[in-house]
Amino acid sequence: MLSTHRAFYDAVETGDVDLMSSLWVDDVHTSCVHPGAEPLRGTDAVLRSWTLLMANVGYIQFFLTDVEVNTMPPGAEEPDTAVVTCTENILSGEGVESVDAFSGGKAVCTSILVRDRSSGPWKFWSRHASPVIDIDPEAPEEP
Amino acid sequence: MLSTHRAFYDAVETGDVDLMSSLWVDDVHTSCVHPGAEPLRGTDAVLRSWTLLMANVGYIQFFLTDVEVNTMPPGAEEPDTAVVTCTENILSGEGVESVDAFSGGKAVCTSILVRDRSSGPWKFWSRHASPVIDIDPEAPEEP
């Protein structure tokens, strides 16, 4: 399923709306959370938001770190669900501020991919991205 | 699986570390993203963060809205994976600022729950919460 995950970023980087459409399960219950935003529900709304973002971002590139893949349920021999978590280090050009909270340059993302049968293509069911704010949650409390 | 989802918030609200521990799959690959933070990986790290939060938050209460449950893969008769999305409207007391980004009062959350067998208890595999920032991503660009 990592090829689907990588294709997602290729689609954003190249502004390929058709590729993006092909990567999502077509369902009214799919969901996508952009950094700092409320959830979008249903593939129509999700794809509309990506089309808008791709139309407004002149240049964007993602460098993924800490990519981790786990299939669900853990240990299944022919999994049909996968959870991919990663950190997105984002390099972007002009026009970014107007579309979404991508200006922070770093986000963490949890994606859920599914496939119909063990041989079918993996597709996105859900994507939840959030900004990384420069705080240390385990820092000792100030007196 | 909604009873597990509700029990999670009960555990935070009442500071019940044992209940919280019982709700997570014990695995080094589980993950938890607190609002604005980098991912925590592994149940030990996840539970440590919740124990710390519960020890430092005097009063906290969650009002959930827009709760939506989907089992994976879509349409499975005996699902072993579920995705729960919701908005957390958070009412909290003193001491909150020092622990995490809960001060915003509103977060959106995607949780992934799994169970070993069709009759086993649902447990948390992943939780990704993010702050809701008061912007409208579909607002027209300023001239």
Distance of CA B98 to the CA centre of its chain: 19
Taking the Cβ of residue B77 and every Cβ of chain A, the question of whether any pair is shorter than 8 Å is answered with no
**Residue A128: its chain B contacts at CB < 8 A?**
108, 110, 128, 130
Q: What percent of chain A has pLDDT over 90?
A: 67
Does the structure show a pLDDT above 50 at A102? no
In this prediction, residues A59-88 reach a mean pLDDT of: 91
From the list B10, B47, B6, B40, the residue with the least C-alpha distance to B25 is: B47
pTM (two decimals): 0.86
Does the structure show a pLDDT above 60 at A62? yes
Higher pLDDT, A86 or B133: A86
Mean per-residue pLDDT pooled into runs of 10, chain B (143 residues): 94 96 96 95 97 89 94 85 94 60 75 85 96 67 47
From the list A12, A18, A94, the residue with the least C-alpha distance to A61 is: A12
Does the structure show a pLDDT above 90 at A127? yes
CA atoms within 13 A on the CB side of B42: 4
Higher pLDDT, A49 or A99: A49
Count other Cβ atoms within 10 Å, centred on residue A116.
14
- The mean pLDDT value of chain A amounts to 87
**Residue B37: its chain A contacts at CB < 8 A?**
108, 132-133, 135, 137
Closest CA in chain A for residue B114: A73
Domain boundaries defined on chain B: 2-131
Alpha carbon distances (Å) from B55 to A19, A33, A118, A131, B12: 47, 30, 45, 25, 10
Higher pLDDT, B125 or A99: B125
* pLDDT score for B78: 85
Residue A139's pLDDT band, with cuts at 50, 70 and 90, is low
Beta strand A123-131 with A106-114 is: antiparallel
* pLDDT score for B102: 47
Whether the Cβ atoms of residue B24 and residue B43 lie closer than 8 Å to each other: yes
- CATH topology for B2-131? Nuclear Transport Factor 2; Chain: A, (3.10.450)
Q: Testing the interface with A: which of B122, B126, B128 to mutate, by most A Cβ within 10 A?
A: B128
Taking the Cβ of residue B104 and every Cβ of chain A, the question of whether any pair is shorter than 8 Å is answered with no
Closest CA in chain A for residue B39: A108
* pLDDT score for A105: 83
**For chain B, how big is the Rg over CA atoms in Å?**
16
d(CA B79, CA A132): 33
Residue A87's pLDDT band, with cuts at 50, 70 and 90, is very high
Contact A126 B110 (CB under 8 A): yes
- What's the complex ipTM? 0.84
**Residue B112: its chain A contacts at CB < 8 A?**
72, 83, 110, 112
